[in-house]
Amino acid sequence: MNGPLLTLVPEQTGPVEVYDLGRGPETATQRIRRLQREARLLAREQVEALARDLEDLARRAGEIADGGEAYAVGIREMASRLATDLPQKSQGLLAILGRTGKD
């Protein structure tokens, strides 16, 4: 005799909305607001990911800039400028994100 098939539910890391079954279906306005809120959260996540990617690229550019004769002079110079510029761009993105408010 086989028991019921159990599946592992992935752990939820973000905020979870509990739906009150007694409140009835969403109105169009409620749905629009919810979807707009979700879109803003997704946009925020993407900007944060982009900022992390820029930081990673800056580290890699720094490694190339410090790579010595293995890299051509022009490549080292460009990598050095990127290693300096990219963290500033990342911080700028996060600063703008911080000023736009939290959702």
CB of 80 closer than 8 Å to CB of 102: no
Percent of the chain's residues with pLDDT above 90 = 71
- Cα separation, 55 vs 53, in Å, equals 5
User: Could you tell me the pTM of the whole model?
Assistant: 0.70
CB of 79 closer than 8 Å to CB of 71: yes
User: What is the full per-residue pLDDT of the chain (103 aa) written as tens digits?
Assistant: 566 777 777 777 777 777 677 777 889 999 999 999 999 999 999 999 999 999 999 999 999 999 999 999 999 999 999 999 999 999 999 999 999 865 4
User: What are the residue ranges spanned by the domains of the chain?
Assistant: 40-99
